[in-house]
Amino acid sequence: QSSKKKIGQCVQAINSTLILTSKQNKKGSHTQILIKKAEIDAAVQLLLKLKVDYKQMTGQDYKAGCPPSENLIVSNNGPAADDCDGEDLVDPWNVSASSTKGVDYDKLIVRFGSSKIDKELLERIEKVSGQRAHHFLRRGIFFSHRDMHQILDAYEKHKSFYLYTGRGPSSEAMHVGHLIPFIFTKWLQDVFDIPLVIQMTDDEKYLWKDLTLEECHRFTVENAKDIIACGFDVNKTFIFSDLDYMGASPQFYRNVVKVQKHVTFNQVKGIFGFTDSDCIGKISFPAIQAAPSFSSSFPQIFGGKKDVPCLIPCAIDQDPYFRMTRDVAPRIGLLKPALLHSTFFPALQGAQTKMSASDPNSSIFLTDTPKQIKNKVNKHAFSGGKDTVEEHRKYGGNTEVDVSFLYLTFFLEDDEKLEKIKEDYTSGALLTGELKKILIETLQPMIAQHQERRKQVTDEMVQQFMTPRPLNFKF
Ligand code: TRP
């Protein structure tokens, strides 16, 4: 509104300057005309800038005397990257919380317009799958969803679904946080006995990072080995590199193009915060992350069926992609994917930000030795304990901000043990060093076992997982 007013004023200023100039032109001196010309140039510059502002705000070109129409910014829930008012910043590229307790996930549910995974949904998942809910569900690590009830309704009527998740292969080094969606997806695949597609977005990493295409593709293959080491069933799982599959699958590319036709630049600007200086590859990339949500993108698996529902387990920072996907799906005659969202895996330094592979001290890597794990936890894991043993014994520690405790909620499956640790730490009976020791002794065998399984993954196995082929499942 104020920008429009400013533009109006500016247009008026230009008009009157022009009139003035033409009047003075007849009898004015040469210098006067030069001054006027400088004023006009400045006014024109200002006008152009205001027009750009106006377009950014309304998504429409400025036309004098023509107010902007109502269909303005288009993202359903406002921009994802919304860091005003001391709020948490959460988008596919940044996570930072304003509190040491980390991101306020309840607020995020409201802001993103998703639904909380409540007790009722947990019970339904248990009833329909016939299994106790995974501890990631019980402990609120997967905490939010979209349309999960619909998936369960259909499954109860013997209408099956498929899983879709992915990974951006930005380096060879994966850390334990990267495993969370895959560990959970493996559980879903097992309990529901359904096919899974895993997108490796090497194209995305090429567009966003300073890496060559060859590097990104190599990281896809290396990361695929870590993913396979999570235990996925080769008969039910298709892993694909965008760089390979986009060109090899006409049906996949057709879905990409359909999405591209139905999302405007203005919409992706609103959802992802792209600007005029982002390369066009980035601007069209969301269509490529959307396409695997549609079963018709995989004719070798679904025989051309368009209506197999899709469930996407992912970290909540990926939600903007799927808000966009759910928004276009009905407009291109396809089903909206359902989602299960996880919280972030906190950095060693604290829950204000997530683990990042680019900061070696913030992460426990899947390649770390037992000694490295021990050192990193002891040196860098943010403690919720008190400064001295005396104080700690007296007042107890705070498990809400203690990174070692938080990691145990991810990896210590035994509920009773975890509860006991919580009690003892809070009362002061358990010291920070002792808590760290429990974490170290949980992580060391877990990572050693992962390394062992990864060693068993041969190039032929990767090849097998990555070959487009029918999968085994009964619908
Ligand atoms: N963009 C994701 C990343 O950078 C990768 C990804 C692609 C993904 N498709 C997905 C993640 C589906 C979760 C679900 O890691």
Rounded to a whole number of angstroms, the CA Rg of the chain reads 27
Name, in order, each residue with C-beta under 8 angstroms of 417's C-beta and a sequence gap of 6 or more.
none
Asked whether residue 321 falls in the same domain as residue 268, the answer is yes
* Ligand 1 atom closest to residue 314's alpha carbon, by position in its atom list: 13
What's the pLDDT score for residue 343?
95
pLDDT bin (cut points 50, 70, 90) of residue 69 is very low
Name, in order, each residue with C-beta under 8 angstroms of 295's C-beta and a sequence gap of 6 or more.
162, 301, 302, 305, 306, 307, 308, 310, 335
What's the pLDDT score for residue 355?
80
What's the pLDDT score for residue 117?
98
Average pLDDT, the chain: 87
Mean pLDDT of all residues in 71-90: 47
Residue 165 CB less than 6 A away from ligand 1: yes
What CATH number is associated with residue 194? Answer: 3.40.50.620
Considering only CA atoms, which residue is closest to atom 4 of ligand 1? 168
What's the pLDDT score for residue 7?
58
Side-chain-facing half-sphere of 215: CA atoms under 13 Å: 12
Considering only CA atoms, which residue is closest to atom 10 of ligand 1? 166
The answer to whether position 375 is within a domain reads yes
The answer to whether position 156 is within a domain reads yes
Contact 168, 205 (CB under 8 A): yes
pLDDT at 127 over 60: yes
Asked whether residue 324 falls in the same domain as residue 284, the answer is yes
Considering only CA atoms, which residue is closest to atom 5 of ligand 1? 167
The answer to whether position 406 is within a domain reads yes
Contact 199, 164 (CB under 8 A): yes
The rounded distance, in Å, linking the Cα atoms of 466 and 245 is 9
pTM over 0.75: yes
Name, in order, each residue with C-beta under 8 angstroms of 444's C-beta and a sequence gap of 6 or more.
370, 373, 374
What's the pLDDT score for residue 75?
33
Three-class DSSP category at 220: helix
pLDDT at 74 over 50: no
Which of 321, 339, 340, 341 to probe ligand 1 with, by most ligand atoms within 8 A of CB?
A: 321
The rounded distance, in Å, linking the Cα atoms of 407 and 409 is 5
Three-class DSSP category at 198: strand
Tell me how far the alpha carbon of residue 70 lies from the centroid of ligand 1, in angstroms.
33
What's the pLDDT score for residue 79?
39
- Return the ∠ at Cα 129 (arms to 475 and 336), rounded to 5°: 60
What CATH number is associated with residue 402? Answer: 1.10.240.10
Segment 258-300, tens digit of pLDDT? 999 999 999 999 999 999 999 999 999 999 999 999 999 999 9
Tell me how far the alpha carbon of residue 244 lies from the centroid of ligand 1, in angstroms.
16
The answer to whether position 77 is within a domain reads no
Asked whether residue 205 falls in the same domain as residue 304, the answer is yes
pLDDT at 395 over 50: yes
Highest-confidence segment of 29-43, 345-359, 397-411: 397-411
pLDDT bin (cut points 50, 70, 90) of residue 474 is confident
Residue 319 CB less than 6 A away from ligand 1: no
What's the pLDDT score for residue 83?
40
Range of the domain at 27: 1-58
The rounded distance, in Å, linking the Cα atoms of 99 and 285 is 32
Asked whether residue 318 falls in the same domain as residue 441, the answer is no
pLDDT bin (cut points 50, 70, 90) of residue 81 is very low
Which of 90, 144, 167 to probe ligand 1 with, by most ligand atoms within 8 A of CB?
A: 167
Asked whether residue 341 falls in the same domain as residue 389, the answer is no
Asked whether residue 139 falls in the same domain as residue 53, the answer is no
pLDDT bin (cut points 50, 70, 90) of residue 19 is very low
pLDDT bin (cut points 50, 70, 90) of residue 42 is low
Lowest-confidence region among 58-62, 221-225, 353-357, 425-429: 58-62
The DSSP string of 258-301 is: HHHHHS-HHHHHHHH---TTS-HHHHHHHHHHHGGGSGGG-HHH
pLDDT at 13 over 90: no
Three-class DSSP category at 462: helix
Per the structure, how many domains does the chain have? 3
Asked whether residue 338 falls in the same domain as residue 387, the answer is no
Asked whether residue 109 falls in the same domain as residue 176, the answer is yes
pLDDT at 361 over 90: no
Tokens read off for 121: 């949904």
Asked whether residue 325 falls in the same domain as residue 374, the answer is no
Asked whether residue 244 falls in the same domain as residue 308, the answer is yes
Q: For 97-224, list the strands marked E by DSSP.
A: 115-116, 142-146, 162-167, 196-200
Residue 168 CB less than 6 A away from ligand 1: yes
Tell me how far the alpha carbon of residue 272 lies from the centroid of ligand 1, in angstroms.
14
Name the residue with higher pLDDT: 1 or 132: 132
The answer to whether position 262 is within a domain reads yes
pLDDT at 48 over 80: no
CA distances from 466 to 228, 242, 299, 461 (A): 11, 11, 15, 9
What's the pLDDT score for residue 357?
75
Highest-confidence segment of 55-64, 91-100, 441-450: 441-450
Nearest to 114 by CA among 319, 346, 392: 319
Considering only CA atoms, which residue is closest to atom 8 of ligand 1? 166
Asked whether residue 101 falls in the same domain as residue 227, the answer is yes
Segment 128-178, tens digit of pLDDT? 999 999 999 999 999 999 999 999 999 999 999 999 999 999 999 899 999
Mean pLDDT of all residues in 360-380: 95
What's the pLDDT score for residue 12?
59
What's the pLDDT score for residue 351?
80
Chain position carrying tokens 């998703």: 114
Asked whether residue 206 falls in the same domain as residue 342, the answer is yes
